Structure 1
């Protein structure tokens, strides 16, 4: 026997016990004596019903993976026939669904069965002539108790011999079992079919595309770092805008046969001269990252479906101009990017800047009459706000739900594009995401809505070797991502949630994880989040993903696919196209 037949005994016996207890309450004689334990009996009935709920939930989900019809599953869960519980298909389905929790599940069922036997032995009139009930007796009770018109019928008067202290002891035992079943239920739900689905071809393509983007992002960071002379200013700030790249991630085929480039929107913060009355400002443009056709290693580039190797020599195009206009002018190496940006901003010349496989930035002079500059001068930094300020500041400007879902998808996509790169040396959090609200005019409310363009900042120090080490673990990154999703949905920072609920919150992982768990429980109780969103955020906080390593690791491609399957793709599917 597999042990799962105990679940059948419990599901068959508990409704009978509950009916007997209710009958006892209705036919009591010594009213004053009964009042002292009536509340305990009500609690006992509630605890028994909770056992039924969790056992039914797990078994029903497990049996959905079999060939059984819905009506057959319902019959197994509610019918008096116990023979299906001895079927190996049923046992195997439950074992596979519960995974490592299967043995714990059987132990919990055994404890529940023992408690039920104790209760039944004290129900005089339900059974007689014995002071001890064994599993075989449960089988006989389930088969022999008649149920005309759907209600259990008891031929003898029911008496309940347990005193309130004994009832309380049985309640505590059932509550302990309920906690175990509840934890197993939650964990099994999150892990359901993860291994099977995360291996799908579509998700593999998702993860591979993100790996290619990630490689390009790291090469871009290195190129910009080499472009600064680091003698003009102690620091140079670059803002990288977070792009969803939904079209690229979904694998939409281009309409042209030419190999498309990969664009990164950045803004270079240009410092003003000492004594100037003008505010500092940012020079925003799009940097195109492409691969040269004549790769110097003989054309042995990795396939597009897999991450690029670090030793590959791709060509990166860093363009401040419209690519539709070509120039044949001579190329000059650039040794001072900061000086170049200053001269361009003053209208001295229009420049086309590119980075080739040799790692050097080159400039090409282009006549202003034939070239359109694809750059934007952006104020800096007064109009910038962080996500924390946006949703929980002194004067919060909360985006509508569609915008918040779009931002959720954006930040998840950004983490998948930039993790393990020098752009993210710390986990992405609400305090490190910045915005420049831009008016989004509509025919109904022109100029009243805002389009929120998120970006992160990277500071290039004056030291010769920039710090590129990521100071966080994968577990830290996923916890902060889950917190971000909760903050965006509720339009409330975790600090505000902790303060409102009297919770102590520090910067430590343990403290933030504990408060995040409280937030999960609060959202489950309130039912104020869409189920798919709650599951995605919970998976991030609990880090419930498939891995090929002992612990979550960004270098584990299986882990990357699992995050794509259970977090990125659900958000992409629900996010309105016009908000992506």
Structure 2
């Protein structure tokens, strides 16, 4: 018999012990010796019921994680029916073994010992013994009951004869002489209940530790993946470079910056713009690494949102305007807010009911983009994986003039704090992911960050989708220099402090006092000096976490060796994670 089944047997035997004890009280009242045993009886009755409750509670704790979410009443049914077939359920027994693991044998031993104790208690109090049964029958048959069920007379014999009845004396002596035996059995029951609780507590703690260790391992794996993402980004860049074989003039490519929290699906989003005679053609695409069939099926979910190509000149009657331009007396300035949090949810939802269309390798990305596809243009073939290119939207616009962050910071009204904090998080996360790759071979300055006008409303810029130029059309891009991290991070820190206040550094008194320098390196040094002074105001404006993140970018990198990638982990925990917390607190607060 399994340990789980034995627990059911114990649960069913405990009421019999309670019934046997109750029979003693009834017999004592009939036979006239209730006062002599009342105190001992009540103490034992209370202790027995408490141990029974302890055992039942342990069973509930044991069963709670074993039942399925769709059968929440199973525990109540098991407790109410200890003789039921559910206590012999092999599936529940299997779950119990998985829960207790190494403690299962100890659990079985404890439950078996409890069964022995309960069996001994039942024997000690059993009314099936001849002496107790005779005394009870003799006493019950000697008395009569009135209409109300109360005893009129306990015995027809004289008082002295009743007390000297052999069966009653045996019954009385059995209870009185068994005080120590019952106390020992209850003590054993209490110790075993405590041992059972210890086993359950250890099992729960082990499960909690295992869960924590798994979370730490998962977090560590995610951190490692984020810190090595630049290698993955470089591979994709080189594949795109190799696939762009056309000689068409007027191509422009911009990579959307993303804050990634999980890399189970490494997805890139690009905007490809091509200059035509009187308009610009815009292709938004996403590139995913993974299994072809699943990704192609999931891409069909995008088809519903796919925008058809618009005709040139479709906005000939609408003047192009800036979302941040100040309005006149008759019009209010239009302002673009953050349409969504900057943390993208990159998920794949396979549409199993649809069949995937054949997908071919992309040899010329320009030609493939010219072919209308609803799900997938094809794939770029890497050495050990494929990158699938999917359409997101396709349209035209009369004028393609992205707005840089440098321009945005000079315009009014100023960006809201949540917008500025979201941009700070996205920029720092993207810097960590892309620096040292061809996407971001140099530093990330405010002039490099661009916002694209909405094709449906060219006067509005999507401020929640920052982009950077990706000139993989130019052969010289292969020879772009790699900036030193010690020069690039401080420049990023300057951008972060500008976003903190929503104003450019150039107009601050800290910077104006230092003068203008034509040499780029000297000018950058003056910017850094002014930013360090300005840093003293950040804590009051945005909090200590934001201030510490900026300070690390401005000065912290000086103490970290840059010949390895250790700086990435430092940046992840000292810059990106604190900014995540700042953004979350502001958004939820």
Normalization by structure 2: what TM-score? Answer: 0.47
Larger Rg: 2
Q: TM-score, normalised by structure 1?
A: 0.48
